[in-house]
Amino acid sequence: MKDRDGYHETKSHMDEDLIEEIDDEEMHELIMQAKADAWERARIEKKERKPKRRFSKGIAVLIAIAMTFYVLSLFPRVISVPAIDFLQASSRLSQDEQVAAYKEAVVVIETNDGRGTGFAISDEGRILTNYHVIEGDPTVTVAFPEDGLLQGEVVEEFPEIDLAVVEVEGEDLPFLKLDEHAGAAYGDYIRFIGNPLFFNGIANEGTVLGPLQLASWEKEVMMIRAPVYRGNSGSPVIDEKGDVIGVIFATWNHDEHGRVGLYVPINYFTDK
């Protein structure tokens, strides 16, 4: 069963946090504070217990659940996600200078119906994203991490491979290089950057699992074992050389591998 990751929740106004990005040091502090608070709460609760009182298994489970919700409450806009591991991975990866440079080219795309991810493929403002992110919107708002908000126009659509091109007016913009000849094999290491779950500029990593033939597609797509969430649609998949080899567009419940991410190989776009 396929689960598209475009964010479709209707919004009545432009989000003020559209260009907000979690600072790497701030992210690390949030993670450390969440862990410290959780341990401190557990220590206090243990100290306050009566020495001879025995808790039933059910009460112990309720306490564990309460502690979990306490930690997640520090991230109120993220629900049902292992937030600490998720943010910790991004914090670690973002310390890499190359990853930090990649992030500058990854944008937030906001439409009338929601938001998603895209990335610049030229220094003059040519941006690649998913078709389902911009579907039905001739113009969108684009937010670069360092270059602010720009008005974007949808100039090309390729619904058969779920890709689209948006153009903004700009010059000397950061962009990512496409490797149209890059192949991918089982176990290859990849990184990707996107705007999942209301966060912006989140870096993560994974490995290639192999091709998958979808019934509704003429060409095969690629599966990755990686933490892909809603909002990652349009995220660039970057190989170890730093080149883009694909664009994340969905997740899939695979019989063998479980929940996996799916990406469109970049040569499907460059061959157009």
Query: What would the mean pLDDT of 158-183 be, rounded to a whole number?
Result: 92
Phi, psi of 25 (to 5 degrees): -70, -40
- What's the CA gap between 11 and 116, in Å, rounded? 13
The CB density around residue 124, as the number of other CB atoms within 10 Å, is: 14
pTM of the predicted structure, to 2 decimals? 0.73
Residue 178 pLDDT > 90, yes or no?
yes
Is 2-10+96-168's fold the same as 189-270's? yes
- What's the CA gap between 110 and 4, in Å, rounded? 17
pLDDT band at 114 (very low <50, low <70, confident <90, very high): confident
The pLDDT value given to residue 262: 96
Residue 188 pLDDT > 60, yes or no?
yes
The pLDDT value given to residue 19: 36
Residues 6 or more apart whose Cβ sits within 8 Å of residue 20: 200
Residue 13 pLDDT > 50, yes or no?
no
Cβ contact 188:239 at 8 Å? yes
2-10+96-168 to CATH, choices 1.10.420.10, 3.30.70.260, 2.40.10.120, 3.10.310.10: 2.40.10.120
pLDDT digits (tens, 9 = 90+) for 227-271: 998 899 999 999 999 999 999 999 989 988 988 999 999 999 998
Query: What would the mean pLDDT of 62-86 be, rounded to a whole number?
Result: 56
pLDDT digits (tens, 9 = 90+) for 125-151: 999 999 999 999 999 999 999 888 999
Q: Where are the domains of the chain?
A: 2-10+96-168, 24-93, 189-270
The CATH homologous superfamily of the domain defined by 189-270: Trypsin-like serine proteases (2.40.10.10)
pLDDT digits (tens, 9 = 90+) for 19-44: 334 455 555 555 565 556 556 555 66
Query: What would the mean pLDDT of 206-229 be, rounded to a whole number?
Result: 94
The pLDDT value given to residue 265: 96
Query: What would the mean pLDDT of 80-104 be, rounded to a whole number?
Result: 84
The pLDDT value given to residue 130: 97
Residue type, 240: E
Residue 3 pLDDT > 50, yes or no?
no
Query: What would the mean pLDDT of 71-100 be, rounded to a whole number?
Result: 71
